[in-house]
Amino acid sequence: MSDLLRLLRLFRPYLGWLLLGIALSFITLLANVALMALSGWFITAMAIAGAAGVSMNYFTPAALIRAAAIVRTTGRYAERLVTHEATFRLLAELRVWFYNRLEPLAPAGLESYRSGDLLSRIRADIDTLDSIYLRLLVPAAVALLAAVVFTGLLCWYQPALALVEGTLLLLAGVFMPWLMNRLGHSAGRHKVEVSAQLRAALVTDLQGMGELLVYGAAHSHANRIQKLSQELARQQQTLIGLNGVSQAALGLCASLAMWLMLVLAVPMVSDQTLPPTELAMLALFALASFEAVMPLPLAMQTLGESLTAARRIFGLADRQPAVSEPAKPLPLPQTFTFRFRKVSFRYRPDSPEVLQDVSLDIAPGRKLAVLGSTGSGKSTLASLLLRFREPCGGSLLLNEQPLQRYNSEALREHIAALTQQTHLFNTSIRDNLLLACPEAAQETIEQVCKAVLIHDFILAQPDGYDTLVGETGVRLSGGQARRVAIARTLLKNAPLLTLDEPTEGIDSETARKIMANIVARAEVRQQSLLLVTHRLQGLEHMDEILVVAGGRVVESGSHHALLAAHGVYRELCAAIW
């Protein structure tokens, strides 16, 4: 129940809305019970008066009945309005809270999660929690208040009547919900887990549908989704069956309460200790009072489903970020000089080192390239520089101060970074570019697009810069999408430009021209440049080249110096010349 208490603490800012919804629901219940009881008394009194041929004041009870009907109708509307408003506010608060907890985890802390699973947690699991307030808190609070009020009123008539009412309310409102929770907990938990697996599988399969069709694997994946769907349907059938049993049991308890009231009240009428007009009133009062406990079995039945969703959310939200932020961050300097001093890194304590004793300097205006094959650890350098991860050994300095002493978000505002796996959003080319600099003028946008040789292609499209790129840039070729991503990076005005495999998927001649334009632009803007690549295009423009193999720097120097050294770099160049 610790997850439930934690949820309630998150609901605290909306306590006023929650209490108002409970109050309106309780008033509506009282109005409905009063309407039933007064109607029974009024009909009986009118029948007796008519049989006896006497007159009676029917204006007052008729007015009370109308008032109860009006309160019930307006109260039900107001209760729905307030409780749903409160629920929507709670869900919005939870989504914002959850997103704020996820953001520091990205990207390193989320690499082990599938995108479909993350989507399921932030949407479906949080939506599941709407039942905590609507189906659990409100019904439980109203049932508790109603049980106290109803049994208290019956004690005024006869303790035996209150005992019958209280016993059956206890059976219907406590035992049956407890039983439904025991029987439905496993099915509810399994339903959430299977639903999450199904959503994750659907997202993954839809994203990779082209590959599934090409390799003939679509049928096997469809079978897997069908099995998950059938398993989900079985769990839903179990929960629906339990709900049917619980509602039948509550109906039985309500009917028993009505008949037992009659059994106990008839002798009281015969003994003239109870007016005859109140016999029907008590019976209908007992029957209507069970409306207070009707929602409880379903609420407790779905409690396991809600708590499982809460555990999935809290389990991810409680993960520690890969980097820790300083309590009192240093102010960022005016100029940026980064130094790696014998930096080492491994992804897990039991995994081998991907970087070993790497040292390098990135001074203002300096152009540095890190060259190495796939898996040599060169991309990890850019990840450490952006503070997506922390070094396991050595030191990473900014102007002779440890990089850990600076706020990560503030630091990244001064770095324009292109990663290997850039994302294009399902919007226009212009909107994708403006992510880097929302206030950029059209002239500036066109300049960076010309630099990466994509401007002419964009103008050739019917909608020009308003052309939609599709989901993950699917309407562009790999090279075109990469050039849009490079243009977006160049659009950001930052003192340091880091490019991780910028020309991947681009032919050699185009890559050479793009790299020359990037270097020329960086020199004009006096930007530092860190190029991480396994390709040789543009390296002749670099001030220093570090050749990395096995996580170590095996060679360093300028393009001409490394060619003259007859080492690894010369062999790489000779292989393509």
The predicted pLDDT at position 575 comes to 60
Residue 3 above 80 pLDDT? no
C-alpha 51/C-alpha 234 separation (Å) is 59
Position 93, amino acid? E
pTM of the model: 0.77
Cα–chain center distance at 525: 40
Mean pLDDT calculated for residue range 370-393:
86
Note whether 341 and 503 are within 8 A (CB).
no
pLDDT digits (tens, 9 = 90+) for 328-355: 999 988 889 999 999 998 888 888 888 8
DSSP, collapsed to helix, strand or coil, labels residue 154 as helix
Structural contact between residues 528 and 561, judged by C-beta atoms closer than 8 angstroms:
no
Polymer length of the chain: 577
Compute the distance between CA of residue 330 and CA of residue 206 in angstroms, rounded to an integer.
Answer: 45
Domains and CATH numbers, the chain: 2-317 (1.20.1560.10), 338-576 (3.40.50.300)
pLDDT score at 23: 94
Per-residue pLDDT at 1: 62
- Name which of 490, 496, 517 is nearest 422 in CA terms: 490
pLDDT tens digits for range 152-177: 888 887 888 889 888 888 888 888 88
User: In this prediction, what percent of the chain has a pLDDT beyond 70?
Assistant: 99
Q: What is the pLDDT of residue 198?
A: 86
Q: Given pLDDT bands bounded at 50, 70 and 90, which one contains residue 189?
A: confident
Q: Over 90: is that where the pLDDT of 78 sits?
A: yes
